[in-house]
Amino acid sequence: MAERERVAHDKPEPERYFAEYIPLPGGEGAALVAVQEAINEHATHSWKLVSVSADPTSQGVFMVWDTTGFFSG
């Protein structure tokens, strides 16, 4: 095993997935703007959106992003 491989295992891996809650304001147009802003913000990092789930207890959604920017399949 190369020295750099041993050192790399001691370093914590960055989190691959990032989850966030997006509150959706009233009105369909305002909700779409909030979702589009979140998509645009993370697209600048080349993150991939992998999941969106409605929060059953409030008016909002949970968005899960793959921060590696790699998507296969």
Domain span including residue 30: 9-66
62 in any annotated domain: yes
Asked, for residue 1, whether it belongs to a domain, the answer is: no
The predicted pLDDT at position 15 comes to 85
Whether 26 maps to a domain, the answer reads yes
- The number of distinct structural domains making up the chain is 1
* 12 and 58 Cβ atoms separated by less than 8 Å: no
Answer whether residue 55 is part of any domain.
yes
Band (pLDDT 50/70/90 cuts) for residue 8 is: low
pTM: 0.69
Amino acid occupying residue 13: E
